[in-house]
Structure 1
């Protein structure tokens, strides 16, 4: 089956304006499909082995399984996670930022330490507040797209 790669995603991926300050570069081993729970040293995970089903892009009011969200990262989605205790005002501001954005997943995460973690394939960024200007920069530069192995694959129709 041939995959359609959206021109807008290609434009976002080809930006040459350098890395955003604080973005970590991680090298997850492999992008294989694997059933069951997967343990990763990084929380939330930003790549590596993941479930064969991907997480539908959208806004969620509960934590998700990393294994599904990582599959969405493989497809070029950005995954924004917040601690469970993120103040309501910040959570609402974050929802407004991602509302209507294609290839974006927003959820809380039970075990992360930073208030917010923005993840693209192998590129997590921890921030303290939604007002941090790097949040918008990250959404424009690294999510959607970034360096994901299968940019443009479906971000709907499964979990």
Structure 2
């Protein structure tokens, strides 16, 4: 009888211990079983090498595979540095990226006025802030060829990203700046003359 009881205990232990350990692993992960997001490093930065950087022909609308775009052919006019409360044309923003500008975008449905103010305060002098509906995360920070999806205005990786990439070193024209750009309200259609 004692041998049967010992055998049952061994089998129960062999079955239950892995189940308990698996349950602990799941409780350490997010609600959907994914590991928690590490907001202390830039490991999640996506890199996009080999981008072209030509001006588009009049009337041509570049097609960008990323949302927001990270570089590529672009409009001949760039946007003046600053915070905008309306979306800005992608082809012009990409010209800013070519100049080494940091483009900070947010989904307006996910970031309230206080969050926009917070993002404005984090914007470097050579930076642009604008809403962008069609992006995967509440906030995204982009420089030429590099992009990071963020959890929101409180994400500490914004400052890390700007410290790492904000000097424009990844851009074809890193020290051109967004200063001297045009106001989006004054922009012509892609490739047209400035009004």
TM range (shorter): 0.7 to 0.9
In the TM superposition, what whole-angstrom CA distance separates every residue of 1:7-63 from its partner, at most 9, and x where no partner exists?
A: xxxxxxxxxxxx822100113531111043211110100101111111111111110
Residues 77 and 143, structure 1, Cα contact 8 Å, conserved in 2: yes
CA distance in structure 1 between the partners assigned to 2:140 and 2:107 by the alignment: 9
Q: Is the 2:100–2:177 contact (alpha carbons within 8 Å) kept by the matching residues of 1?
A: no
Segments of 4+ in structure 1 off by > 4 A? none
Name the TM-score, length of structure 1 as normaliser: 0.81
Q: What is the TM-score with the length of structure 2 in the denominator?
A: 0.67
Contact 2:138–2:150, Cα closer than 8 Å, also in 1: yes
**Alignment of structure 1 residues 3-152 onto 2, 5 Å:** 20-34=42-56, 35=58, 36-85=60-109, 86-98=111-123, 101-152=124-175
Aligned-pair Cα RMSD in Å = 1.5
Whether the 8 Å CA contact 1:120–1:146 is kept in 2: the answer is no
1:154 to partner: Cα distance:
4.1
Unaligned stretches of 5+ in structure 1? Answer: 1-18
> In the TM superposition, what is the alpha-carbon distance from 1:141 to its structure 2 partner?
1.5
Contact 2:136–2:149 under 8 Å retained in 1: no
Cα offset for 1:146?
Answer: 3.2
| Number of residue-to-residue matches in the alignment | 139
Which structure is higher in RCO with an 8 Å CA cutoff and minimum separation 6? Answer: 1
Q: What corresponds to 1:12 in structure 2?
A: none
Which residues of structure 2 form unaligned runs of 5+? Answer: 1-40, 183-195
Which position in structure 1 is the counterpart of 2:6? Answer: none
User: In 2, are the aligned partners of 1:104 and 1:144 still within 8 Å (CA)?
Assistant: no
State which structure, 1 or 2, has the greater radius of gyration over its C-alpha atoms. Answer: 2
Mapped to 1, the partners of 2:101 and 2:181 lie a distance apart of 15
Query: Could you tell me how far 1:122 is from its partner in structure 2?
Result: 0.5
